[in-house]
Amino acid sequence: MADPAEDNEDEAFGITDRLVAEVLAAVEAEDAAALSDLLEPLHPADIAHLLEQIDARDRRRFLLVQSGPLDGDILSELDENIREEIIAQLNPTELADAVRDLESDDVVDLVEYLGDQQQEAVLEALDAGDRVVVEQALSYPEESAGRHMQSELVRAPEHWTVGDAIDFLRSDVVLPDQFYHIILVDPRLKATGYVTLGRILSHPRAMPLRDLVEDTFRTFHVTQDVEEVAQAINHYHMITAPVVDDDDRIVGVITIDDAMAFLEEEAEEDILRLAGVGEGSLSDRVIDTTRQRFPWLAVNLVTAIFASMVISLFEDTIAGLVALAVLMPIVASMGGNAGTQSLTVAVRAIATRDLTGANVWRVIRREVLVGLINGLAFAVVMGVIGIIWFGSPMLGAVIAAAMVINLVVAGLAGTVVPVLLERLGIDPALASGAFVTTVTDVVGFFAFLGLAAVWLL
Amino acid sequence: MADPAEDNEDEAFGITDRLVAEVLAAVEAEDAAALSDLLEPLHPADIAHLLEQIDARDRRRFLLVQSGPLDGDILSELDENIREEIIAQLNPTELADAVRDLESDDVVDLVEYLGDQQQEAVLEALDAGDRVVVEQALSYPEESAGRHMQSELVRAPEHWTVGDAIDFLRSDVVLPDQFYHIILVDPRLKATGYVTLGRILSHPRAMPLRDLVEDTFRTFHVTQDVEEVAQAINHYHMITAPVVDDDDRIVGVITIDDAMAFLEEEAEEDILRLAGVGEGSLSDRVIDTTRQRFPWLAVNLVTAIFASMVISLFEDTIAGLVALAVLMPIVASMGGNAGTQSLTVAVRAIATRDLTGANVWRVIRREVLVGLINGLAFAVVMGVIGIIWFGSPMLGAVIAAAMVINLVVAGLAGTVVPVLLERLGIDPALASGAFVTTVTDVVGFFAFLGLAAVWLL
């Protein structure tokens, strides 16, 4: 047995390297009882995490050895591509058993990308009422609040008192696993406010609920982008975001824990896109990863060839002074780095809504100024290095001037490119890097070799 | 007045460009009444966001024009450097008035980086009890759970019933603004479990609280890293994380909304560090931004000069065939990009605990294999381009071979470097980029020019 007291601090949550090894040994020995003992104390999120860390062959054998139906919560917690792999190994009945007790948003999350046959099987396994809810959610656009909300919530007529609410909750009504607010509705089910459970518990039975509502009450439309809802939950410190339909009737809620997971995924996506990795995850197969990264490298190749063509314009200049070939990558590299700095700040500021129409000009001016000051600083450094290394003040002057030009252009392109892409409806995290690097490579080589051709030869 | 119905969807939350303009006009006209009308309907988080979008001069005038004391919640919501700027403009009494009603974790967050005199003034303004709590929190290490927890929580003896809890909450006890659990404690204040308010509300008065506790109950030690606590909150879908001292006595809680904000900041920091921007924010002054970015560019300069020195080893080779100077940046650039892809995946997998001792060798093998396959693909492409562009099959072979070598090395370095840095206790997000780029530049130039020297000349 794994002893939690021996957990290595560096390891993830409840899963130590030793536990992984013990689980693999039990799977190897096809010892269902030992496996069950090892898994019994673990949270579904931990079992999912463990499954993500072993390879596909071991996962297949794990599923064969483990006894009894798979816990639907484990499926919910899995990375999307590993989840697909495991679902593909379940027959429709096993799958239906696994999802039956999940909340509606988790069921939707599980079935939305399943094949028709599997999706059908899962939907048929649900109660009629749950099925309607899931089908309704699937009818909303991907990434909308309606698609990601859970329909389980507690609402009450706005004329109720604390006592009415308590009596209702104590009756044999089915309640969500977790809920933190009661949402007040008018006779036409229009949401009018919400009350925290803490306030209900701390007031006498006769107190009308409407006197206890929170100051601020915001609702979100079913078609609203779920990322916007998650950002609002974070911004306004909400625990529950009520989702309403066209008639302002409450149809579901998005809870803060789902919003938190969602924002984590979005930040992750931005990081990976900025690095040209797309949707990659450690659990992808080698061939999938290779395919995902290929297009980004191909774009980079086009960029690099473009830069090479600029260099080839100056072959005679380089032939006349080979030192130029030695120094030219420095100017391009510094521009590329400065451009990446500016564009990363801009891309994130757009994502977090800190860069808006109200301050875009100020930000552009600021980045250009930063580029100018750092350009001047490195111009001095490189000028001196040029003189010392190659003994040529003019070569020093050329590289210094090219450095200033390229760092100013880097600041400008690093801000303008993401802003323009955003206005054109293109994800700036995805496409900015290639554009900005092309600009700084071309400008860097052209300025350095061009000035050299004019001043030196 | 800003009409919310006219909100531009692209704009941030409650703040439209027009509202910003109207606020600036009221500040310009020194019209305190108009300013107050504009701000009245806004959430403190929105006012903070508005202050972040205008420049320092306008913020100063805003503070002079707005009437009455500044809302402490606005201070809490501000970006750190703008908050410092505004706090510097408040006298100790104004500052003390602003913070008096904040929860203990928000007060700690505000005062932890204040100068001694201002910190003293704030602490003196607090009630004796609150002051002790804040001073206690400040005695824990930065970034620890104890430093970031709020002390306001609701606990109950474990022998209480639902009725006891309701009577207690309805008495004139001071309750936290928001709370979602009651934490059960034994006679020595050791935390033994918690009950959600939903469960209390849905059970009869006679039900013992200990029969309603959640299955899983985890506590966190005051000195534990707050990022670990935030990750556990996300991983286990907790709403409240109880924080205990050395004797397992409950001393505070970390709430999910704070954990969410914290993880957002951490992801943001990783993105900025990967791009060599450090702690930057749009609201920094030009000179601060310039200073923050300078060291990263300086590191890059050293890297680039190192690469140039490799090139200079081959000056004679280049003088013999200038086409080499044209093509060599392509190999280095492709290696740099592939290395960035691998290292970004590795850095994030380390941060999210998906890359562990259990799978590190598998991940390294995978990245090398991905590099090899993509290297072979681009070797073919570049070989053909080399032949067509320069009419030289041998030049094509040189660039093809160098491409394979550099992409394999990129996959290897992109994974090994972050893992090693992590083991050495260095933040891999901060330092991996420079190391990996140095490796791919040096290997790229050396392989290409070296093979050219051997095969072509």
Nearest CA-CA partner of A15 in A57, A43, A36: A43
pLDDT value, residue A334: 93
Highest mean pLDDT among A122-126, B113-117, B378-382: B378-382
**Residue A425 reports pLDDT greater than 80:** yes
Interface predicted TM-score (ipTM): 0.81
pLDDT value, residue A1: 34
Each residue's pLDDT tens digit, A244-270: 999 999 999 999 988 988 888 888 888
What is the C-alpha radius of gyration for chain B, rounded to an integer number of angstroms?
Answer: 29
pLDDT value, residue B208: 97
φ/ψ of residue B184, rounded to 5: -85, 140
pLDDT value, residue B331: 93
Q: Model confidence at A2, in pLDDT bands (50, 70, 90)?
A: very low
Q: What share of chain B is helix, strand, coil (3-state, %, to 5)?
A: 65, 10, 25
- In the numeric block, the tokens 């003896």 are attached to B157
Rounded Cα–Cα distance for residues B198 and B232 (Å): 22
pLDDT value, residue B89: 85
φ/ψ of residue B132, rounded to 5: -60, -45
> What's the CA dihedral at B55, B56, B59, B65 to 10 degrees?
-120
Check A304 against B329: CB less than 8 A apart: yes
B372 touches A at CB < 8 Å = no
Tell me the HSE value of B136 on the side-chain side, using a 13 A CA sphere: 17
More confident residue, A328 or A6: A328
Instruction: Report whether A29 contacts A56 (CB < 8 A).
Output: no
Each residue's pLDDT tens digit, A37-62: 999 888 999 999 899 888 888 999 99
Rounded Cα–Cα distance for residues B145 and B252 (Å): 9
Mean pLDDT of B90-99: 81
For residue B135 the two structure tokens come to: 């001073």
Q: Model confidence at B103, in pLDDT bands (50, 70, 90)?
A: confident
Contacts of A214 in chain B (CB under 8 A): none
Each residue's pLDDT tens digit, B316-374: 999 989 999 999 999 999 999 999 999 988 988 888 788 888 788 988 999 999 999 99
Each residue's pLDDT tens digit, A76-126: 898 888 888 888 888 777 888 888 888 888 888 888 878 787 788 888 888
pLDDT value, residue B380: 94
Q: Which residue of B has its CA nearest to A279?
A: B345
More confident residue, A165 or B262: A165
Annotate B374-429 with DSSP letters as a single string: HHHHHHHHHHHHHHHHH--HHHHHHHHHHHHHHHHHHHHHHHHHHHHHHHTT--HH
B126 touches A at CB < 8 Å = no
For residue A93 the two structure tokens come to: 């009945």
Q: Which residue of A has its CA nearest to B290?
A: A370
pLDDT value, residue A3: 38
More confident residue, A149 or A178: A149
pLDDT value, residue B184: 96
Mean pLDDT of B275-283: 71
Instruction: Report whether A136 contacts A109 (CB < 8 A).
Output: no
Nearest CA-CA partner of A69 in A91, A52, A45: A91
Q: Model confidence at B280, in pLDDT bands (50, 70, 90)?
A: low
**Residue A276 reports pLDDT greater than 90:** no
Tell the CATH topology of B155-274: CBS-domain (3.10.580)
Rounded Cα–Cα distance for residues B38 and B102 (Å): 24
pLDDT value, residue B7: 39
> Which of A165, A337, A382 shows the shortest C-beta gap to B276?
A337
Q: Which residues pair with B156 in a beta bridge?
A: B184
Instruction: Report whether B312 contacts A375 (CB < 8 A).
Output: no
Check A198 against B178: CB less than 8 A apart: yes
**Residue A4 reports pLDDT greater than 70:** no
pLDDT value, residue B91: 79
A282 touches B at CB < 8 Å = yes
Rounded to a whole number of angstroms, the distance from the CA of A302 to the nearest CA of chain B is: 9
Each residue's pLDDT tens digit, B213-227: 988 889 999 999 998
Residue B191 in 3-state DSSP? strand
Instruction: Report whether A194 contacts A223 (CB < 8 A).
Output: no
A280 touches B at CB < 8 Å = yes
Rounded to a whole number of angstroms, the distance from the CA of A174 to the nearest CA of chain B is: 10
pLDDT value, residue B281: 67
pLDDT value, residue A431: 81
pLDDT value, residue A6: 37
Rounded Cα–Cα distance for residues B307 and B39 (Å): 56
Chain length of chain B: 457
A202, A313, A381, best to mutate vs chain B, most B CBs in 10 Å: A202
Instruction: Report whether B245 contacts B149 (CB < 8 A).
Output: no
Rounded to a whole number of angstroms, the distance from the CA of A223 to the nearest CA of chain B is: 13
Burial A276-288 (b: 16+ CB within 10 A, else e): bbbebbbbbeeee
Tell the CATH topology of A4-142: MgtE N-terminal fold (1.25.60)
Rounded to the nearest integer, the mean pLDDT of chain B is 88
What is the CATH class of B4-144? mainly alpha
HEC string of A209-267 equals HHHHCCCCCCCEECCCEHHHHHHHHHHCCCCEEEEECCCCEEEEEEEHHHHHHHHHHHH
Q: Where are the domains of chain B?
A: 4-144, 155-274, 286-455
A-B interface: how many C-beta pairs under 8 angstroms? 360
Residues in contact with B118: Cβ distance below 8 Å, sequence separation at least 6, in sequence order: B87, B92, B95, B111
A225 touches B at CB < 8 Å = no
Q: What share of chain A is helix, strand, coil (3-state, %, to 5)?
A: 65, 10, 25
Residues in contact with A62: Cβ distance below 8 Å, sequence separation at least 6, in sequence order: A23, A27, A35, A51, A54
Rounded Cα–Cα distance for residues A163 and A329 (Å): 75
- In the numeric block, the tokens 């080839």 are attached to A312
Contacts of A201 in chain B (CB under 8 A): 165-166, 169-170, 197, 200-201
54-73 in chain B: CB under 8 A from chain A: 54-55
pLDDT value, residue B11: 44
If phi > 0 it is left, if psi is from -120 to 50 it is alpha, else beta; for residue A218 that is: beta
**Residue A33 reports pLDDT greater than 80:** yes
Annotate A379-393 with DSSP letters as a single string: HHHHHHHHHHHH--H
φ/ψ of residue A213, rounded to 5: -65, 155
Q: Model confidence at B119, in pLDDT bands (50, 70, 90)?
A: confident
Instruction: Report whether A454 contacts A319 (CB < 8 A).
Output: no
Residue B216 neighbours by CB distance under 10 Å: 11
A378 touches B at CB < 8 Å = yes
pLDDT value, residue A280: 63
Rounded to a whole number of angstroms, the distance from the CA of B116 to the nearest CA of chain A is: 30
B306 touches A at CB < 8 Å = no
pLDDT value, residue A164: 96
Annotate A92-144 with DSSP letters as a single string: HHHHHHHHTTS-HHHHHHHHTTS-HHHHHHHHHHS-HHHHHHHHHHHTSPTTB
Q: Which residue of B has its CA nearest to A171?
A: B202
B89 touches A at CB < 8 Å = no
Each residue's pLDDT tens digit, B425-436: 888 888 888 889
Nearest CA-CA partner of B427 in B109, B143, B235, B149: B143
Rounded to a whole number of angstroms, the distance from the CA of B17 to the nearest CA of chain A is: 5
For residue A95 the two structure tokens come to: 């799958």
Instruction: Report whether B183 contacts B196 (CB < 8 A).
Output: no
Contacts of A369 in chain B (CB under 8 A): 286, 290
Rounded Cα–Cα distance for residues A349 and A365 (Å): 15
Each residue's pLDDT tens digit, A297-354: 898 899 899 999 999 999 999 998 999 999 999 999 999 999 999 998 898 888 878 8
- Strands of B33-159, DSSP E: 155-157
Q: Which of B20-24, B117-121, B244-248, B367-371 has the lowest mean pLDDT?
A: B117-121
Instruction: Report whether A450 contacts A345 (CB < 8 A).
Output: no
By percentage, how much of chain A surpasses pLDDT 90?
49
- Strands of B240-365, DSSP E: 240-244, 250-255
Instruction: Report whether A452 contacts A324 (CB < 8 A).
Output: yes
**Residue A291 reports pLDDT greater than 90:** no
Check B354 against A166: CB less than 8 A apart: no
Contacts of A294 in chain B (CB under 8 A): 374, 377
Instruction: Report whether B271 contacts A270 (CB < 8 A).
Output: yes
Check A272 against B53: CB less than 8 A apart: no
Nearest CA-CA partner of B274 in B335, B359, B342: B342
By percentage, how much of chain B surpasses pLDDT 70?
96
Burial of B243 (0-12, 13-18, 19+ CB in 10 A): buried
Q: Tell me: domain A286-455, CATH 3.30.450.90, correct?
A: no
